[in-house]
């Protein structure tokens, strides 16, 4: 059997006195889409940010593609190239056009020459439906467009894992759909995805597994159909009741 693509063992994270993650164990297979749900402050985002070590784990082990990324000897910059990340606040580079945003990292890291990077950027813009916005500055784009460029920017590094940190939470409601559509397409192409989200519809339709987190641990984990129709943990049931029937 193949090793899981992401393997997390007994992950702990403290911010000073505050314990945010209290022992996470998780395995994610290649091509799986895993949605992480839970109340705010439950540690969902922190878990995600530990996977590419934007947060330094306090304790525990994270293995991605058979490389232990929590090993201090590991070249983090190399590892991160394979792990794309999409942020709640998009974080596009405001001084660069949409296309330059996408080309910047492959060029700076000398993975592509200018012509190839440009071709790839156009292809990605096409894929997220923003071909005509190549030369627009981020501030000229709507939130939904910015987030789609941000996804394209992450894809330009040709990652085999994509992390999404509440990618639609900062969007106006009418723009949520266009971003989720791009994510759905990505999932259908076999991308391994870990998605922290409040979009229960997306979790239901797209996820292979749903994790419910609360108070720094994974309280429940199940296939979406089961999680949403028949939650076992009373905390999960309570949370779902609140978000599904507000």
Partner 1 sequence: MDLLRVFGEVQPLLTKGLWITVEVTVLSLMLALVIGLISCFLALSKRAPLRWISKVYVGLVRGTPLLVQVFYIYFAIPQLLQLMGFDLRFTPFIAGLITLTLNAGAYLSEIFRGAINAVNPGQMEAARSLGLSHAQAMKKVVLPQAFRICLPSLVNQFIITLKDSSLISVIGLADIMYQAKIYVGRSMEAFATYTWVAIYYFVIISILTQVAKYVERKVSS
Q: Where on the chain is the footprint of partner 1 (CB under 8 A)?
A: 52, 54, 77-78, 80-81, 83-85, 87, 89, 91-95, 104-105, 108-109, 150, 153-154, 157
From the CB of 103, what's the least distance to partner 1, in Å?
11
Query: In terms of CB distance, is 136 or 240 closer to partner 1?
Result: 136
Nearer to partner 1 by Cβ, of 55 and 215: the residue is 55
Choose between 105 and 217: whose C-beta lies nearer to partner 1: 105
CB of 95 to partner 1, least distance (A): 5
The three-state (H, E, C) secondary structure of 54-117, written as one string: CCCCCEEEEEECCEECCCCCCCHHHHHHCEEEECCCCCCCCCCCHHHHHHHHHHHCCCCCHHHH
Nearer to partner 1, 15 or 25 (CB): 15
Nearest to 215, CA basis, from 197, 239, 243: 239
Give the shortest CB-177-to-partner 1 separation in angstroms: 24
Looking at the Cβ atoms of 193 and 219, the one nearer to partner 1 is 193
Work out how close the CB of 105 gets to partner 1 at its nearest, in angstroms, rounded to a whole number.
4
- Least Å from the CB of residue 80 to partner 1: 4
């Amino acid at each position: 059997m193949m090793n899981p693509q992401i393997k997390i063992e007994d992950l702990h994270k403290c911010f000073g006195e505050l314990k945010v993650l209290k022992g996470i164990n998780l395995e994610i297979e290649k091509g799986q889409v895993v949605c992480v749900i839970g109340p705010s402050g439950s540690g969902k985002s922190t878990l995600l940010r530990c996977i590419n070590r934007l947060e330094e784990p306090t304790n525990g082990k994270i293995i991605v593609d058979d490389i232990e990324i929590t090993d201090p000897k590991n070249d983090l910059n190399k590892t991160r190239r394979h792990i794309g990340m999409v942020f709640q606040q998009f974080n596009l580079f405001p001084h660069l056009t949409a296309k330059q945003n996408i080309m910047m990292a492959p060029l700076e890291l000398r993975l592509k020459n200018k012509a190839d990077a440009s071709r790839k950027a156009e292809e990605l813009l096409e894929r997220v439906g923003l071909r005509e916005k190549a030369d627009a500055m981020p501030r000229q784009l709507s939130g939904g467009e910015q987030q789609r460029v941000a996804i394209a920017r992450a894809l330009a590094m040709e990652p085999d894992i994509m992390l999404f940190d509440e990618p639609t939470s900062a969007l106006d409601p009418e723009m949520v759909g266009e971003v989720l559509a791009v994510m759905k397409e990505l999932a259908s192409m076999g991308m391994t995805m870990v998605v922290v989200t409040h979009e229960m519809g997306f979790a239901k339709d797209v996820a292979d597994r749903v994790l419910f987190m609360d108070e720094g641990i994974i309280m429940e984990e199940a296939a979406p159909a089961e999680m949403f129709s028949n939650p076992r943990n009373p905390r999960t049931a309570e949370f779902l009741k609140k978000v599904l029937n507000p």
